[in-house]
Structure 1
Amino acid sequence: MATPTTTPATMRAVQYDACGGGAAGLKHVEVPVPSAKKNEVLLKLQAATINPVDWKIQKGDLRPLLPRRLPFIPVTDVAGVVVDVGPGVKGLTAGDQVVAMLNSFNGGGLAEYAVASANLTVKRPAEVSAAEGAGLPIAAGTALQALRSIGAKFDGTGKPLNVLVTAASGGVGLYAVQLAKLANLHVTATCGARNMDLVKSLGADEVMDYRTPEGASLQSPSGRKYDGVVHCTVGVSWSSFQPLLSDAGRVIDITPNFSAILTSALHRMTFSKKRLVPLLLSPNKADLELLVGLLKEGKLKTVVDSKFPLSEADKAWQSSIDGHATGKIVVEMES
């Protein structure tokens, strides 16, 4: 157990007091350091990554569910060092380097310290930097679960499926391309022209510029039908995907709107073989351990777009809102 003198009474944090406001709505504050309760650990944070869901919560898109209470310290994907453990925690001790996904209701990632559930905290080996590890929980977790929904297997037993990854140079897309190749899938990807070489370097078999007629059509250059689509962008209708799918092809929509949910329900009711499947991440420790292990082995990499100190968290926030990042936007906590 860490001694009380190792942890200060207060910490620097970034929070917002109301929904809306974007980066201008973020405030730098000094607040009490939280304490670990049952089955929780207190982390001294080293890095956090911003995901689109973070500013969508601030915008009010997930009301009334989130934010549960204001003021709210946003961000859930973090890496740091365990400084204290609550009752009931096994397998984690003070001094452990870790990656964690914080509770979405409580947030807390844009701060010097945060409390994480021991069930969503995994040890981070020396080979994995804090920035690399902090990129994993939402983005890589979503990519992994989307590919599993298509039928991808990561133990060598899977079938050789064809998959399309849209917006392949974004946070989820870059992980999806790599994980699909680890599952021995044939990968067609769309992205902007400036990122085509990067996406190819991560293993994509076919890469299309989404701004060209060929890319906009989403058709595989080699004429393959898709067994699955990891759909990481918006504005593409089900009718655009349907003719491109194999007989039992699935489109996994990671940002489903109301229309997508209705379409999915209709497919289930009519027992359609081709389906639109909305995906909401189901965080779990086993997936996070798998992903950290792949990073350690060099089989997966976190592409970092940019790094900002906590004092410039508003710039990181705006960069995510702008939507042009290639990979992850990292906020680092200065010592």
Structure 2
Amino acid sequence: MKSCDGRTVGDLSGEVVELGGGVSSFKPGDKVIAMSFPKCGGLAEYAVAPASLTVARPPEVSAAEGASLPAAAGTALQQLKTAGVRFDGSAAGPKNMLVTAASGGVGHYAVQLAKLAGMHVTATCGARNLAFVHGLGADEVLDYKTPEGAALRSPSGKKYDAVAHCAPAAPWSVFKAALADTGGVVVDVTPGVAATVTSFLQKLTFSKKKLVPLILMPKKEEMEWLVDMAKQGKLKTTIDSKYPLSRAEEAWAKSMEGHATGKIIVEIAATE
């Protein structure tokens, strides 16, 4: 695939140049979105992506938006599904959700997806992004630096059935106090050793309140669904900033700071 558009590190949005043996679902010149999983080699003019993780990019979805969807939106979707959230219009599944780091790459998708599923969403973020996260659809937004935000305390006093944890590690005691008395689940995209141990012990004791470390397993059908949601305007991508390939190191450094609002994109100019 030749990149003539935007991409994140392992997510690609570009044009098919050449096909591998046995691939018949695409042709040279097709505009596609792909994930170079598990090698995550995206920062190059040409990249190889498996057909099993490549989908068509419709004209309604820009290259930058497309390059943002596979890993970030895919992680948010799998977080919610792991927590029992359903997108079939049924009343089953959790009702109240907390999304931490809700202004970030994964978090800003998690808020939107939770609202698509009909959930009441409380979210945490920095003070400068409170209005932005409200604009994503969150019902309640907390500044994570305030006492209420640090305690994950809903302004309306709600307890959470599910938590999409997109922020750095936090003590389990904080989550435990915030979850519903009947039980709940915290799906953690940044699990450390402590979280893994906690999860293991909870399984042994059949705890009603659970912490689940998430391991992203990309799926083509989920990528297609996310692209369709974006095409319909139901899932929007916020671009924090764009960098040319020559400044990819700066883009990576900004990403590692953890304060981007939405996604950071590296672009490669099209060539004839």
Query: Into which bin does the TM-score normalised by the smaller protein fall?
Result: over 0.9
SS for the counterpart of 1:184 is coil
Aligned twin of 1:288? 223
SS for the counterpart of 2:48 is strand
Report matched runs for 1:82-231 at 5 Å.
82-105=16-39, 107-159=40-92, 161-231=95-165
Contact 2:162 2:179 in 1 (8 A): yes
Contact 2:169 2:192 in 1 (8 A): no
Structure 2 counterpart of 1:186, which letter? H
Tell me the percent identity.
60
Structure 2 CA distance for aligned equivalents of residues 44 and 306 of structure 1: 18
Q: Which has the larger radius of gyration?
A: 1
Cα shift at 1:108: 2.2
Cα shift at 1:180: 0.2
Contact 2:169 2:191 in 1 (8 A): no
Could you give the per-residue CA deviations for residues 229-249 of structure 1, whole angstroms, max 9, x where no partner exists? 001112311111112112220
Aligned twin of 2:3? 44
RMSD over aligned CA atoms reads: 1.1
Aligned twin of 1:324? 259
Greater fraction of residues in strand: 1
Cα shift at 1:45: 4.3
Structure 2 CA distance for aligned equivalents of residues 177 and 317 of structure 1: 24
Are residues 1:243 and 2:181 paired? Answer: no
Could you give the per-residue CA deviations for residues 8-59 of structure 1, whole angstroms, max 9, x where no partner exists? xxxxxxxxxxxxxxxxxxxxxxxxxxxxxxxxxx34342111xxxxxxxxxx
Structure 2 CA distance for aligned equivalents of residues 188 and 163 of structure 1: 6
Cα shift at 1:253: 0.7
Contact 2:237 2:263 in 1 (8 A): yes
Structure 2 CA distance for aligned equivalents of residues 262 and 90 of structure 1: 45
Structure 2 CA distance for aligned equivalents of residues 323 and 190 of structure 1: 14
Aligned twin of 1:55? none
How many residues end up aligned between the 2 structures?
268
Give the structure-1-normalised TM-score: 0.78
Deviation >6 Å, runs of 4+: none
Cα shift at 1:186: 0.5
Structure 2 CA distance for aligned equivalents of residues 205 and 330 of structure 1: 28
Runs of 5+ in structure 2 lacking a partner?
Answer: none
Give the structure-2-normalised TM-score: 0.96
Could you give the per-residue CA deviations for residues 55-92 of structure 1, whole angstroms, max 9, x where no partner exists? xxxxxxxxxxxxxxxxxxxx211100111111111311
Are residues 1:252 and 2:211 paired? Answer: no
